[in-house]
Chains A and B, each alone.
Chain A
Amino acid sequence: MTEQEYLYWLVHIQGIGAVTIKKLYTYFESFREIWKAGEQELSASKCLRGGQIQALLSGKEKIEANRREYEKLKEQGIRFVTFLDVEYPKRLLPLYDSPAALFVKGKIPKDDMPSVAIVGARDCTEYGRDAAGFLARMLAKEGLSIISGLALGIDAAAHKGALDAAGETFAVLGCGINICYPRENYALYSTLEKEGGIFAEYPLGTKPEAGNFPQRNRIISGLADAVIIIEAKEKSGSLITADLALEQGREVFALPGRINDPLSKGCNRLIQNGAAILLDPGEVLELFGLNYKRKLTLGKISEKRLEKKENLLYSFLDSRPKHLDEIRDGCGLEVSECMEGLLRLELLGIVHGLGNQYYCRKL
């Protein structure tokens, strides 16, 4: 049996995390030795608490089952990449709590290619979604890998933006790699399998429990050279990612927002505490010494193309979604006229219809 297979067994032991595995490896210098070790040797290592030793010893008999599972990984298109392997992302190695091994579907980010993580609220606004998609698109086009967490909202928008630009994008899951969570993102999950990469630290079949996600976030920030936070409430998982990123020495960018907007509170606070303020994708590119040539053309739709009514409607909209009633009162048009004009604007790609009769400008 290879070292990898022994490690595969070890990651399945409950209560033994990445840090403990590393300590054990330093002491025993081989995973095979860890498996062979008896109770006395294990306690002599001073790496484990009583419960952990018991878990390890009682888990020994499962090694056969683990081995069979390991052999089947390939059929499922899953790779088990350990820190002993060459493909293991170099960015993770120096981290104090780097995962001993990762389950991988699809590609692995290249070590010499700059990468950024884009994370933010699940329950985001249309503006946030636009911003995430736009940034991911622009950065991916310049050759940056986009890392995120396959969550709803900002994460999904970032993945999609990168895919739109035919760039590299990678997702880190907080559950077993064979589970798509949330289910709504199944289409994205299966695209990432083929065109990007998916990572998970947890054994197959691990349920997406709340406690897994902060752990997962250290891998997101670890895989990236810089982290962009888009829309975070005051207490949010994205801020955990930002903290971890700072600990790991990554650059943190935050998208500023209105002071009364609960979804911008976290970002604004980050900026106050010294995070870089993100106004333009060029600022991220500068970090990597890349030049951003294109001028920013946000919101500069040539309004001359629009008909009178559509122009009226468009000029009334902004990035905050407005209800049809408000738009109608503001423009003085009939309800059905508004609906027609807004749908046309939507087809032109400059307005978002949220579906529930709210509308806002596209970024």
Chain B
Amino acid sequence: MFAKINCMYLQGLYGCPVSVEADVSDGLPGYALVGYLASEVREAEDRVRTAIRNLGLSLPPKKVTINLSPADIRKEGTGFDLAIAAAVLTAYGVFAEERVRGAVFMGELGLDGRVKGIPGVLAMAEAAGGFGFSRIFLSKENVREAAAIEGIGLVEVSDLKSMADMLTGCTPVREYIRGSENVAERDGTAYEEDFSEINGQPLLRRAAEVAVCGMHNLLLIGPAGSGKTMVARRMPTIMPALEPKECIEISKIYSVAHLLTDKEPLVKKRPFRAPHHTISPQALAGGGSRPRPGEISLATGGILFLDELPEMGRAAMETLRQPLEERKVTISRVQGSFCYPAGFQLVAAMNPCRCGYYPDLGRCRCTPSDRKRYLGRISRPLLDRIDICAEAAPVTYSEVAGIGENESSAVIRARIETARRRQRERFRGLGILCNGEMRGSHVRRFCRLGHVESCFMKEVFNELQLSARMYDRVLKVARTAADLDGKERIGIRHLSEAVSYVRVREKYWGGVL
């Protein structure tokens, strides 16, 4: 007898349908699995056969042929086990065909028949809904993750036995009732850290606020222990709360990377990814023969924090260039090209010199050429994509001792949300969201200066000998400062603030390198 069962397969971030065809016929008993399979898919034969036997069912020895179609796409992973088992049992006539019609099966099988979770269920469930399937049979571990997708029935099966009971008609098919995992009830304030824990460091706080508000990439320079990491770690807490759609998009990436758990089926906080500086380009951008999302994709919607930037490998640093422009990354491998989102905000931190004490000349042991060499490790094109630089001062006693009141993340976030609304209004229909994404033409259109302000800028550029390429950057940051201030017109103060952030780069990397 012949049976056809639906299953889903992950291509990058998208699910595509695969049908598992099983045929049971007379002949020399045995299983034949075909359809361009990786070895872990081929091994499904043993898992499925043993799990069926452990159901207590004894199937007559027959020739069983299983084909995974389309047969020309390489199939990897263990997610086909459940579909193969269902196909075999349907082909043997154990399951009634009308009961499996329109259903999708995904899960890995244990020898005892237990159904285990697989990566990428969220993306596959979304695709399954799109392809018009009516219900999904999946493991207990995956069900809450898939429940974020509306409009498709979910059936939770803890083992093959319970699935067999439902599909043979012994027990009714019970669909999972969606509850609290609904994304609409997101809770964006569940961060463990808060900006109120940072004492002092007014400049870093302000720089972080401006950076988040306009999605400007940020570089923090300062001696060890000056609070760079502390500030960076708290930056997600002042970003606007996740929209339901964003939440699904980010969760899909985490789902594919197998980072969602039963307890946290969805990503509800803005991501903060802080890979170690020894990271390889592949781990950063995404890699593997079937590329998995890298750190830059996992930081989508949140912060990618690179500490000790000059220590990072040149190749890894250069991989950031294209994603920073395009907000996505395309990885090409033998199996095809995969495109993952990379809509992260970059926050980098570094010491001002190798010993970390500059500009304290009493303690710094580096010569000017040592410092130049250290700073020279950072790629210029990467620097060109960083709008705001802030230098952290060494921490003072009152900051350590925690004297004084600090603003909480919630207060800062409220300001940022207001300013973000202004930006959304401004860029409606232009395909960008924030000031940090403005191109040259946008800058000229939205950052017009009054007469007084342009005279001021001219004087500043002449006096401070800033290079002309800094001009647009100053305007972009000044636009954000004005938005935070609630002003449509860019004023002298906003320009001064922007100049202060932008010229740090001139100080360290200006002139001949």
On A, residues with C-beta under 8 Å from B are 122-123, 125, 152-153, 182-184, 186, 260-263, 321, 323-326, 328-329, 335-337, 339-340, 342-344, 346-347, 353-358
* A353 & B361 in contact (Cβ 8 Å cutoff): no
Residues on B with C-beta less than 8 A from A344 are: 496
* A340 & B390 in contact (Cβ 8 Å cutoff): no
| Cα(A184)–Cα(B503), bound, Å | 18
In the complex where A123-B367, A346-B463, A355-B503 touch, is A261 in contact with B497 (Cβ < 8 A)? no
Residues on B with C-beta less than 8 A from A342 are: 496, 500
| Cα(A344)–Cα(B456), bound, Å | 9
Residues on B with C-beta less than 8 A from A355 are: 503-504, 506-508, 510
Stretch from B156-164, B195-203, B228-236 that touches the partner: B195-203
* A324 & B368 in contact (Cβ 8 Å cutoff): no
Residues on B with C-beta less than 8 A from A186 are: 512
We find that the number of chain B residues with CB closer than 8 angstroms to chain A is 38
Residues on A with C-beta less than 8 A from B206 are: 335-336
In the complex where A325-B203, A353-B464 touch, is A347 in contact with B459 (Cβ < 8 A)? yes
* B368 & A122 in contact (Cβ 8 Å cutoff): yes
Among A324, A353, A355, find the residue whose CB has the most chain B CB atoms closer than 10 A.
A355
* A125 & B390 in contact (Cβ 8 Å cutoff): no
In the complex where A336-B206, A343-B499 touch, is A123 in contact with B391 (Cβ < 8 A)? no
Residues on B with C-beta less than 8 A from A325 are: 200-203, 393, 396
Residues on A with C-beta less than 8 A from B500 are: 324, 339, 342-343, 353, 357
A133 to chain B, nearest CB (A): 15
On B, residues with C-beta under 8 Å from A are 200-203, 205-206, 221, 352, 359, 361-362, 367-369, 390-391, 393, 396, 459-460, 463-464, 481, 492-494, 496-497, 499-500, 503-504, 506-508, 510-512
- DSSP majority for the A interface? helix
Residues on B with C-beta less than 8 A from A182 are: 368-369
| Cα(A87)–Cα(B463), bound, Å | 40
A216 to chain B, nearest CB (A): 18
In the complex where A261-B362, A355-B503 touch, is A336 in contact with B497 (Cβ < 8 A)? yes
* B368 & A339 in contact (Cβ 8 Å cutoff): no
In the complex where A183-B512, A323-B393, A340-B493 touch, is A357 in contact with B203 (Cβ < 8 A)? yes
| Cα(A153)–Cα(B496), bound, Å | 27
B458 to chain A, nearest CB (A): 11
B221 to chain A, nearest CB (A): 7
| 7 pairs from A and B in contact (CB 8 Å cutoff) | A336-B493, A336-B494, A343-B496, A353-B500, A356-B508, A357-B393, A358-B391
Among B203, B497, B500, B512, find the residue whose CB has the most chain A CB atoms closer than 10 A.
B500
In the complex where A123-B367, A152-B368, A335-B202 touch, is A354 in contact with B507 (Cβ < 8 A)? yes
- DSSP majority for the B interface? helix
| Cα(A167)–Cα(B242), bound, Å | 64
Contact partner of B362 (CB less than 8 A), chosen from A153, A262, A323, A347, is A262
* B460 & A347 in contact (Cβ 8 Å cutoff): yes
The 3 A-B residue pairs with the shortest CB-CB distance, nearest first, are A355-B507, A323-B393, A340-B496
B224 to chain A, nearest CB (A): 16
Residues on B with C-beta less than 8 A from A323 are: 203, 391, 393
* B361 & A125 in contact (Cβ 8 Å cutoff): yes
Residues on B with C-beta less than 8 A from A354 are: 359, 507
* B361 & A184 in contact (Cβ 8 Å cutoff): no
A116 to chain B, nearest CB (A): 25
Residues on A with C-beta less than 8 A from B481 are: 336
| Cα(A182)–Cα(B124), bound, Å | 60
Q: Closest B residue to A183 by CB, please name it.
A: B512
B110 to chain A, nearest CB (A): 58
Residues on A with C-beta less than 8 A from B459 are: 347
* A356 & B492 in contact (Cβ 8 Å cutoff): no
Residues on A with C-beta less than 8 A from B202 are: 324-325, 328-329, 335
A175 to chain B, nearest CB (A): 15
| Cα(A328)–Cα(B352), bound, Å | 22
| Cα(A335)–Cα(B202), bound, Å | 7
Among B361, B390, B506, find the residue whose CB has the most chain A CB atoms closer than 10 A.
B361
A307 to chain B, nearest CB (A): 12
Residues on B with C-beta less than 8 A from A263 are: 361
* B504 & A340 in contact (Cβ 8 Å cutoff): no
B244 to chain A, nearest CB (A): 35
* A358 & B359 in contact (Cβ 8 Å cutoff): yes
B205 to chain A, nearest CB (A): 8
| Cα(A184)–Cα(B459), bound, Å | 25
* B512 & A184 in contact (Cβ 8 Å cutoff): yes
Residues on B with C-beta less than 8 A from A260 are: 362
| Cα(A163)–Cα(B450), bound, Å | 37
| Cα(A340)–Cα(B463), bound, Å | 15
B318 to chain A, nearest CB (A): 25
* A123 & B361 in contact (Cβ 8 Å cutoff): yes
Q: Closest A residue to B390 by CB, please name it.
A: A357
B151 to chain A, nearest CB (A): 49
Among B203, B205, B481, B506, find the residue whose CB has the most chain A CB atoms closer than 10 A.
B203
Residues on B with C-beta less than 8 A from A123 are: 361, 367-368
Residues on B with C-beta less than 8 A from A335 are: 202-203, 205-206, 497
A342 to chain B, nearest CB (A): 8
Given A347-B459, A357-B391, output 12 extra A-B contacts at Cβ < 8 Å.
A123-B367, A184-B511, A325-B201, A326-B396, A328-B202, A329-B200, A335-B202, A337-B493, A353-B500, A355-B506, A356-B507, A357-B390
| Cα(A329)–Cα(B396), bound, Å | 11
| Cα(A324)–Cα(B499), bound, Å | 14
Residues on B with C-beta less than 8 A from A324 are: 202-203, 393, 500
Residues on B with C-beta less than 8 A from A336 are: 206, 481, 493-494, 496-497
* A357 & B496 in contact (Cβ 8 Å cutoff): no
| Cα(A336)–Cα(B390), bound, Å | 13
In the complex where A325-B393, A356-B391, A357-B504 touch, is A339 in contact with B496 (Cβ < 8 A)? yes
Residues on B with C-beta less than 8 A from A153 are: 368
Q: Closest A residue to B205 by CB, please name it.
A: A335
